[in-house]
Structure 1
């Protein structure tokens, strides 16, 4: 707990890098885009250095073959765990959107968070809910 607010924490496999998310994470996004389906990530969103804080060293990857990639992916340089993505273009107010991979959190801490499905592959729209939560997507 931080100032009475909930704190979620995620750590990579080796423990060198991680993230914290303060406050209610809201619903978690499962996306089917070419990146998310390969990584198997489930995302919680906020802004860099606001409710989301990164800890430890990270390496980054921006998609090749795109003239102007929108995101960079952060992963642990030691064990390779996917930690987060960060928007490369600041929003109008100067803040940078981020998402953390909640699969790095302890299962009990995130098990009951609802899942939103997003079609990042074709329509770039939210998909109908199916009532699942994170615990339903662990396996």
Structure 2
């Protein structure tokens, strides 16, 4: 199980199983947070613990999301979709930057254009260790 924690330790997340790749998004929020995301569904493989107030982002072209953070130290823990999928599940992604570096260093990085096209971008073969240090 992969675990991530905010700086002060008041809030954390867990992700069961293989996180897959890490997604780097270039939208105005993700770019500023420097987040790397791993996805699943709320209450399934991902669980969030501790108080995590939200900043809600509702865009015209972008999906409606809330960005959840630690109220004490400000670390961004995750984003959570505001709309349910057709099957009733809610998408959620955790910020892999809060995990121990050695546990995510090997993950490939996928690039996503969240700024303009909302499309996946071509890969460049880099992994987290290539951009982390």
TM-score normalised by the chain length of structure 2: 0.94
Secondary structure of 2:44's aligned partner? coil
Confirm or deny that 1:122 pairs with 2:109. no
Of residues 20, 26, 36 in structure 1, which corresponds to 2:30?
36
Secondary structure of 1:62's aligned partner? strand
- Hey, what's the Cα distance between the residues in 2 that align with 1:124 and 1:57? 30
Structure 1's consecutive aligned runs of 4 or more residues displaced over 3 angstroms after TM superposition are 66-69
1:79-111 Cα deviation digits (max 9, x unpaired)? 000000000001111110000000000000000
Q: Which residue of 1 aligns with 2:14?
A: 20
Q: Which residue of 1 aligns with 2:75?
A: 81
Of residues 52, 63, 84 in structure 1, which corresponds to 2:57?
63
Q: Which residue of 2 aligns with 1:3?
A: none
Of residues 87, 103, 110 in structure 2, which corresponds to 1:109?
103
Contact persistence 2:63–2:81 (CA under 8 A) = no
RMSD (CA atoms): 1.5
Following TM superposition, by how much is the alpha carbon of 1:63 offset from its aligned partner in structure 2, in angstroms?
A: 2.5
Contact persistence 2:96–2:104 (CA under 8 A) = yes
Q: Which residue of 2 aligns with 1:97?
A: 91
Q: How many residues align?
A: 132
What residue ranges of structure 2 are gaps of 5+ in the alignment? none
Q: Which residue of 2 aligns with 1:8?
A: 2
TM-score normalised by the chain length of structure 1: 0.90
